[in-house]
Structure 1
Amino acid sequence: MSPTVLDTLIQVETPEAIDIQLRPASMFQRIIAFSLDLLIRSTWFVLSTVAMIMFFGNATAAFANENFSYMALGFLLINLFATTWLYPVLFEVFNHGRTPGKMAAKIRVLHDNGSPIGWSASMLRNLLRVFDGLPFAYAIGMVSILLTNKGQRIGDIFAGTIVVDEQTERHIGKLAYLEHIPSVTPPVMLTREEQYSIVSFTERHPRLPRVRQQELAEQLCYDLQLPATQAIETVLGMGKYYLGQQQKDAG
């Protein structure tokens, strides 16, 4: 697989001083999510408006009443506000950064330090969606996503948020390919950066060509002053050890 795929991974440090790797969501995923959410919001707006008209009786007779006209206009404006702005904010805050569209596209919104999104960030990124939509078809937003290394639209930049691909978030304990690799306890205490390098290699190595795996493993062994014989197995064993420790700590 091309090395450029690895370049889309970003490393962030959470407020708890834990390093995690995230991959910004692709443009295709974001378009899918936005389209599904737009369909849901539009359907709700139409159905709720029809229900309002039916509730108050005949539409022609109802709108002839001046008081009802003002009440109906107020309801429509409130409903429009809720479906265009409140909808994404509530889902992002209470559903772990995921609207229904984002859930279907397997993406979520986080703070750019990897922590869950909060009220202020969600409100700001969604308020600025109006600017991202200019001049038409989210042109500014899409250009910003393509030009920033974290795939952020203008709203994300100001809110300090990032939309990530859930499928490439770290899943500790789910690395099935390590099942037959014996865990190797590091012979010496390694620094946090060295531990990160080993875990990073362990998680990435299935996507790397065999030659690249060997090259990186030998380099890691050299840096750690370990024998280079069976370098890949040695590094994977230590990676399994550290992932096991993280799993225990999380439990």
Structure 2
Amino acid sequence: MEQFQIETAQNITINQNTSHLGERMLAYIIDTFIIVVYTILMFVFLASLEIDMGDQWAFYLILSLPAFLYYLLFETLMDGKTIGKGAMNLRVVKLDGSKPNFGNYFVRWALRIIDVGITSGGAAVLTILIRGKGQRIGDIAAGTTVISEKKHVSLKDTLLRELPEDYKPTFPQVTVFKDQEMRTIKELYDKARLNGNHNVIVSLDKRIKEVLGVQTALKPIEFVDVIINDYNYYTQKM
């Protein structure tokens, strides 16, 4: 799964997972199924009305609008999601991680005719594979991408971290912490970085320095990161 970097207002860089091509295809299948079912029900409804053939086109036009505007309506009203995207835990966001506006959604929707309509999805697949960042043509024009909101548990999500073989610790005092205490520190730190909450990191920095009785020129975000790495170094060596 590809990642792209987002820089928050506090100049903290975080990695965000782009959606997998297979996930987007499954979301598309779900959305297409819903549109097809709606269209069939619409035809059945029109047939049951037994209205004049000359007037049917007007009813068809009105009732077909939800299907025609499906992606634009749902992504705008559901914060970047359609029913299919919601089922696959996907969401449309801007490249800086912020919420798209109506103009962004409109550009994505308008260019679906090229991405999906004219090329039967070929242009979208090819662009996503070549371009990266989970972007089809509509995303590139709109400055958006589709991210996966699924939680992928890895070594970084636990207390443990992978360290270089030549890693040298800076603060041996970290061994005064217990596993649960360090796990809490890491969880708060990771969450603060993800949400761009610099105040939490500053508070962690201050509290850890008080407990360890150390001073350093490292920035708060760097200091807390080193503390977590040092703790991993000493606990893994035991």
Q: TM-score, normalised by structure 1?
A: 0.63
2:214 counterpart residue number: none
1:85-121 CA-to-partner distances (Å, cap 9, x unmatched) read x211121122121111011111111111111122111
2:45 aligned partner, one-letter code: A
- Cα 1:241–1:54 change in 2 (3 A) is closer
- Aligned counterparts of 1:46 and 1:54: Cα–Cα separation in 2: 12
SS of the residue aligned with 2:186? helix
2:28 aligned partner, one-letter code: F
Aligned partner (choices 9, 21, 29) of residue 27 of structure 1: 21
- Aligned counterparts of 2:11 and 2:62: Cα–Cα separation in 1: 42
Q: Does 1:113 align with 2:96?
A: yes
SS of the residue aligned with 1:163? strand
1:47-91 CA-to-partner distances (Å, cap 9, x unmatched) read 122212312x26xxx32xxxxx2x32233234434313x211121
- Cα 1:135–1:94 change in 2 (3 A) is closer
Q: Does 1:38 align with 2:32?
A: yes
Q: Does 1:74 align with 2:67?
A: no
Aligned partner (choices 205, 208, 219) of residue 156 of structure 2: 205
The alpha carbon displacement at 1:31 in A equals: 0.5
1:9 counterpart residue number: 3
Aligned partner (choices 215, 220, 224) of residue 164 of structure 2: 215
SS of the residue aligned with 1:215? coil
- Aligned counterparts of 1:204 and 1:109: Cα–Cα separation in 2: 27
Q: Is the 8 A contact 1:124 1:159 kept in 2?
A: yes
Seq. identity, %: 26
Q: TM-score, normalised by structure 2?
A: 0.67
Aligned partner (choices 82, 85, 88) of residue 71 of structure 2: 88
- Cα 1:29–1:244 change in 2 (3 A) is closer
SS of the residue aligned with 1:29? helix
Q: Is the 8 A contact 1:33 1:102 kept in 2?
A: yes
- Aligned counterparts of 1:120 and 1:73: Cα–Cα separation in 2: 30
SS of the residue aligned with 2:5? strand
- Aligned counterparts of 1:112 and 1:52: Cα–Cα separation in 2: 43
Task: Please give the root-mean-square deviation of Cα atoms over the aligned residues, in Å.
Answer: 3.5
- Cα 1:103–1:81 change in 2 (3 A) is same
Q: Is the 8 A contact 1:106 1:167 kept in 2?
A: yes
- Aligned counterparts of 2:24 and 2:156: Cα–Cα separation in 1: 27
Structure 1 gap ranges (5+)? 64-68, 170-174, 176-202
- Aligned counterparts of 2:76 and 2:128: Cα–Cα separation in 1: 22
- Aligned counterparts of 2:39 and 2:9: Cα–Cα separation in 1: 39
SS of the residue aligned with 1:114? coil
2:84 counterpart residue number: 101
Q: Is the 8 A contact 2:17 2:148 kept in 1?
A: yes
Aligned partner (choices 116, 140, 148) of residue 165 of structure 1: 148
Q: Is the 8 A contact 1:122 1:159 kept in 2?
A: yes
Number of residue pairs aligned between Structure 1 and Structure 2 = 192
SS of the residue aligned with 2:163? helix
Q: Is the 8 A contact 1:23 1:168 kept in 2?
A: no
Q: Does 1:152 align with 2:135?
A: yes
Structure 2 gap ranges (5+)? 201-238
The alpha carbon displacement at 1:161 in A equals: 0.8
Q: Is the 8 A contact 2:155 2:162 kept in 1?
A: no
